[in-house]
C-alpha cells in the first residue's frame, strides 16, 4: 500500500500495460499528482503526500517510470510547534502549475471528507531543485468540498489558460439519494482559474471561484 502504480500506452486513450509499482525514493506516497514542465517537455515530476507529514517533489527519469530523488519539500512541520499542528495546517492532494516562470502548488488541508480551505504555495525561484516555498493563502474562498487533483495548463497565443480539476468525494450523488454510499458517486469538479491583475496580484496571483456552469470555449486573452 501507499505505493505508486505505473502503466504505459502508445496513446492517452490506451490500452495501458501495467509496468509495476514502487515506493518512490523509498517514501510512502499518498494523493499523487504529476507535472510536466510546459517550458521543458522532457522534464516531468511526481508530487505526493508523504504519510501526511509533508509534500515531496521528485523528478522523473527519462522514461518517466522512476523517480531520481526528492528535490524539494513543502508544508513541512515547524519544529517549534511539534505536536500542535491542526489538520487544516497539514497538507495533502498537491497539484502544480507554472506561471510567469515560477512554480505554484495548490494543496488541501487534512480533514478527511470535511470541507477545508485550499492553500496556494509559490516557489522561491525558477528552479524546483531546492526550492523554498511561500504560503500565499486560500485561492478559492467560495469553494468547498473539493480537493486538488490536477491543474490542466493550456498554452495559447494570448497566454496561459489554467483549469482546476478537483475531487469531490461525497457530494455528487444523484438528487434524493441520501445513502451512506455516497463515495460510489465521487466525481471531479472542473473550474477555470482566473489570473488576477493589479495590486492584488502579488499577494494572490490566481483565483478559483465556485460556478454552477461555465464554457471552456469562452476563454479570451490570458486567462478566462
Output 172 or 156, whichever has higher pLDDT.
172
Mean pLDDT of the chain: 87
C-alpha cell at 6: 505505473
CA–CA separation, 2 and 4 (whole Å):
7
pLDDT in tens, 69-124: 999 999 998 766 655 656 657 899 999 999 989 999 999 998 877 778 999 999 99
Output 13 or 178, whichever has higher pLDDT.
13
Lowest mean pLDDT among 42-51, 93-102, 119-128, 153-162: 153-162
Rounded to a whole number of angstroms, the CA Rg of the chain reads: 18
Q: Which element (helix H / strand E) includes 202?
A: none
Lowest mean pLDDT among 145-149, 180-184, 208-212: 180-184
> Contact at 8 Å (CB) between 34 and 46?
yes
pLDDT for the residue numbered 181:
67
pLDDT for the residue numbered 145:
83
Output 211 or 158, whichever has higher pLDDT.
211
Most confidently modeled range among 86-90, 143-147, 217-221: 143-147
Output 173 or 85, whichever has higher pLDDT.
173
Q: Count other Cβ atoms within 10 Å, centred on residue 61.
A: 11
pLDDT confidence tier of residue 140, bands split at 50, 70 and 90: very high
Q: Count other Cβ atoms within 10 Å, centred on residue 117.
A: 15
Amino acid at each position: 500500500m501507499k505505493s505508486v502504480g505505473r502503466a504505459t500506452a502508445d496513446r492517452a486513450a490506451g490500452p495501458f500495460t501495467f509496468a509495476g509499482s514502487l515506493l518512490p525514493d523509498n517514501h510512502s506516497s499518498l494523493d499523487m499528482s504529476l507535472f510536466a514542465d510546459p517550458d521543458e517537455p522532457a522534464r516531468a515530476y511526481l508530487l505526493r503526500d508523504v504519510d501526511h507529514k509533508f509534500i515531496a517533489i521528485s523528478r522523473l527519469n527519462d522514461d518517466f517510470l522512476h523517480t531520481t530523488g526528492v528535490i524539494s519539500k513543502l508544508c513541512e512541520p515547524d519544529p517549534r510547534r511539534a505536536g500542535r499542528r491542526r489538520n487544516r495546517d497539514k497538507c495533502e492532494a498537491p497539484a502544480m502549475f507554472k506561471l510567469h516562470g515560477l512554480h505554484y502548488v495548490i494543496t488541501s488541508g487534512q480533514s478527511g471528507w470535511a470541507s477545508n480551505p485550499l492553500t496556494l504555495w509559490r516557489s522561491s525561484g525558477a528552479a524546483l531543485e531546492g526550492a523554498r516555498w511561500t504560503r500565499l493563502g486560500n485561492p478559492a474562498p467560495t469553494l468547498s468540498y473539493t480537493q486538488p487533483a490536477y491543474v490542466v495548463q493550456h498554452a495559447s497565443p494570448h497566454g496561459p489558460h489554467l483549469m482546476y480539476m478537483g475531487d469531490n468525494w461525497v457530494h455528487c450523488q444523484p438528487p434524493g439519494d441520501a445513502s451512506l454510499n455516497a463515495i460510489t458517486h465521487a466525481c471531479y469538479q472542473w473550474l477555470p482559474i482566473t489570473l488576477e491583475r493589479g495590486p492584488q496580484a502579488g499577494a494572490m496571483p490566481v483565483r478559483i471561484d465556485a460556478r454552477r456552469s461555465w464554457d471552456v470555449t469562452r476563454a479570451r486573452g490570458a486567462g478566462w
